[in-house]
Amino acid sequence: MEDTLPQKLPVHLGIIMDGNGRWAKQRGLPRSAGHAAGASNFKKITRYCASIGIRYLTVYAFSTENWTRPAEEVSALMVLFRQYLDEALRDFRDDEIAVRFLGDTTAFPKKLQELIRETEELSAGRTGMQLNIAMNYGGRAELTHAFRTLARQVREGTLAPEDITEDMISSALYTAGQPDPDLIIRPSGEHRTSNFLLWQSAYAEYVIMDILWPDFRPEDLNAALWEYANRSRRFGGV
């Protein structure tokens, strides 16, 4: 069954790419080696998702809390992000994958910010899968940003507090204009949301898998998709 796909696929898939550090530790390697292996696997899984018909893919690459990690590890991640985006601009040039970055990217080094803008601009007109890369992202920070946006409209007199709706809040999020995730996969076996898509995941299905992200294969994704397809989504109803 893991070699086949169910008929019912999620329109929007989220993946918390977790376990790079533990993968490296198990092999006696520095954590940076785990992140490099995870980045390589990210490209493979992204292309696989696009090939099977996933319309939206959101991956958790770097959280607002990740800045508290050792400076050496954060520095290595910044270099890795730059290398990946340089490669992506070349490797994905002929792909139809559109890229959007979720989060406050102004905190990154200038060169990385330029690559982020260039990647988004070059892929903006593509009609294939929408890839969202969450970098310097946190669900609470995203909601704070959205509420401040609406609060400014209230202060300016263009919006009444009693007129604020859930749709308005959704439209002020980084994922504005996109459907909420149907399925969120978390490799590494951890049972927590880790501040990922807090508003958007209200009715998402979660599949937790005891596999570290660098070892996560297309066959593992297929298994998660089958588990999702066999669930009954009631959205709070009967």
Please say whether the beta carbons of 105 and 145 come within 8 A.
Answer: no
- Confidence (pLDDT) at 91: 64
- Confidence (pLDDT) at 95: 79
Inside any domain, residue 57: yes
Inside any domain, residue 7: no
Inside any domain, residue 115: yes
Q: How far apart are the first and last CA of the chain?
A: 29
Share of the chain above pLDDT 70, in %: 94
Is 215 one of the catalytic residues? no
Q: Please, which residues have CB within 8 angstroms of residue 11's CB and are 6 or more apart in sequence?
A: 54, 55, 56, 179, 182
Is 195 one of the catalytic residues? no
Query: What's the pLDDT tens digit per position in 223-233?
Result: 999 999 999 87
How far is Cα 177 from Cα 135, in angstroms, rounded to an integer?
19
Query: What's the pLDDT tens digit per position in 210-222?
Result: 999 999 999 999 9
User: What CATH code is carried by the domain that includes residue 86?
Assistant: 3.40.1180.10
Residue among 66, 86, 95, 104 flagged as catalytic:
66
Length of the chain: 238
- Confidence (pLDDT) at 82: 81
Strand residues in the chain grouped as ranges (E) = 12-16, 56-63, 98-102, 130-137, 183-187, 205-209
Inside any domain, residue 93: yes
Inside any domain, residue 143: no
Inside any domain, residue 172: no
Provide the residue range defining the domain that includes 198.
Answer: 12-138+183-229
Inside any domain, residue 21: yes
Q: How many domains, in total, are found in the chain?
A: 1
Residue range 167-174: mean pLDDT, rounded:
98
Of 153 and 64, the structure prediction assigns the larger pLDDT to 153
Inside any domain, residue 130: yes
Nearest Cα to Cα of residue 224 among 212, 208, 237: 208
How far is Cα 86 from Cα 97, in angstroms, rounded to an integer?
16
